Every structure is written in C-alpha cells, then in structure tokens.
A = this chain, B = another copy of it.
Amino acid sequence: MSGYFGAGTRAPESELEIIMSDMPSCQFESRPRRIVIGSGGVQADFCTNCSVRPTSVCSVIEPSDISRLAEVAVETIVSPGRGFIEEGAPATDFFNVTSGTVKLFKALPDGRRQITGFAAPGHFLGLAVSDNYAFGAEAIDTVRVCRFSREKMSELLDDFPKLERRLLEEASNELVAAQNQMLLLGRKTARERVASFLLDQMQAGLLPGQPPPSGGRLHLPMTRGDIADYLGLTIETVSRTLSWMRAQGMIEVGKGYAITIVSTAKLEVLAAGNS
C-alpha cells in the first residue's frame, strides 16, 4: 500500500482521491502528488450507479454483493499527462477505468517507447503475475479509475469465482488484441498500420461505453506522438500518412483530434494488406 502511491496520507475510509498534474510536462520519475478530497463512509451505491459496470469485470458481481465491491474500491481521478502505473514498480493495485483514456506502454533505457495499448472505460488494468508492473500507464485526458489493492482483490477472487472467469475472458481478449498488434508491428507497412488503427478506433467507438456511434467521425484523444508510439512509427510518418489518406479521399482530417472516415472500404483494403 505504500510504494508507488507515494508519501501522501490517506484516510482509509476515503472514497475519492485525485492525482494532480503539478508539472507542465509528464516527468514520470516524479511521484504523483496525491490529494485526497472527501472522506467518510463508503456509499452503497458507489458501484451500483457506476456507468461502466455493465461492460466491466464488475458486472459479474450480483447486485446483492455490490457492497463488497464498493468497500474495496477507491475512486481516483488522474489528470491529463499523469502517470499512475510505473513500469517496474511494485504491483500493489489493480485498476478499472471508468472514464477517459489511458495509454499503456513499455520503454527502453534510451527513451524509445512502445505503447502496447489504449485502455478505454471498462478496461481492467494490472493483470500481472509478477510482483512488479510490466508496463506503465498514463492518463491521456482526464481519467477516472477504480483502484483495488492486490490483497483485497485476491479476497474478492476467492469469494466470487465468476470474477475469475471474467478476468480470464478479459485477459484472453487482450491476448488476441496483442497478437493482432504483433502482426501489425512485425509485418505491416506504415499505411497499413494507420489504416488498421483508424478502423480499430472506429470499432472501439461502436462498442458499448464510449461516445455514441457517429457516422465515421472519430475523436481521437491521443496525440500524433502517441499514435506513432503505438504503431511503431514516427510522428512525421503518421502525419504524412494521414495527409496521404486525405489526398486519396479516404479520410478528412479536422482540427484538433478529429478525423472523419470517408471510405471505410478503402481503408479496409489497405489494412488487409494491399500496399
């Protein structure tokens, strides 16, 4: 319970904590400054009213047992650019994303970085057998997560076998995604990678949770740099490829983080591996 979450003092019964952004850029070496606001008894409806419960691992807990869940969950707000899991640090907690988008990554000593995935609301984080986190996690926009201590989670697993099966399902899904990403990183060209990425993002938007399905219009929360680190490319190549796709009439690139997919068909041809 000490360890990564640093030197802040926390009333054990608190139910909301905030990891503030106190530096302009994300220097991961610095510990996040945690500020606790609000404290008091645990609310019984804390989980009942959770917007992502239907789509998250928590859905397997019966309503009658929800209080058990609420007892061990600590809601945490992480501001944009803030890291809340440090690669290699002792793995003390599990997390469940309830809003916002998280990037998961691994890094080499010289700073090269690979984003291994983006975690949207409903996503469960921290599956690792080792005592240390195998990856880092950082908030892209403002993120809310439910935090569970490892011990408490272990107790929950003992009491709710369904939870374990659900986690296995979650892990299996991630494995499939990881295999797809390996194919992308190992064998696809830059154009194919970007096309695959855009289609995946559209797919993710159509799923439950997340903003409503809008006709080909994407609002990507991540920067070009994040996309590059996810696709194993550079910022420039991502930018150039998007420009090329726009010139081909496949997409429209709006201001900020908006991209509109004009021709899903053309992108699919690309993503499947034709130039």
Question: Which one of A12-20, A59-67, A175-183, A205-213 is at the interface?
Answer: A175-183
On whether the beta carbons of B232 and A175 are closer than 8 Å, the reply is: no
Contact A179 B232 (CB under 8 A): no
Residue contact B112 to A187, C-beta cutoff 8 Å: yes
Copies of this chain, tallied across the complex? 2
Out of B130, B176, B188, name the residue touching A134 (CB < 8 Å): B176
**A window 91-135: CB within 8 A of B:** 106-110, 112-114, 116, 127-130, 134-135
Q: Are A116 and B182 in contact (CB under 8 A)?
A: yes
* B174–A106 CB distance below 8 A: no
For the complex, give the distance between the alpha carbons of A185 and B106 in Å: 12
Flag whether A172 is at the interface (Cβ < 8 A). yes
Q: A171 an interface residue at 8 Å Cβ cutoff?
A: yes
The yes or no answer to A161 lying at the interface (CB within 8 A) is yes
Interface: A273 (CB within 8 A): yes
A135 lies within 8 A of B273 (CB): no
How many residues does chain A have at the interface if contact means C-beta atoms less than 8 Å apart?
44
Q: Are B178 and A179 in contact (CB under 8 A)?
A: yes
Bitwise interface map of A from 236 to 274 toward B, beta carbon under 8 Å scored 1, else 0: 000000000000000000000000000000000000111
Given contacts A173-B129, A175-B127, contact A232 B167 (CB under 8 A): no
**Minimum Cβ distance to chain B for residue A130 (Å):** 7
- Select one of B109, B128, B135, B169 contacting A172, CB under 8 A: B128
Encode A131-175 as 1/0 by CB contact (under 8 A) with B.
000110000000000000000000001000100110111011111
Q: Check if A135 sits within 8 Å of B179, measured CB to CB.
A: yes
Check A114 against B183 for contact (C-beta < 8 Å).
Answer: yes
Q: Assess whether A130 is in contact with B168, with CB atoms less than 8 Å apart.
A: no
Least CB distance, A155 to chain B, in whole angstroms: 13
In the assembled complex, which residues on chain B have CB atoms less than 8 Å from the CB atom of A229? Answer: 186
A-B CB proximity, top 8 nearest = A186-B232, A178-B178, A185-B185, A171-B171, A108-B273, A114-B183, A114-B186, A112-B187
Other than the given A108-B272, A108-B273, 7 more pairs (CB < 8 A) read A106-B180, A106-B182, A128-B176, A134-B180, A157-B165, A171-B171, A185-B186
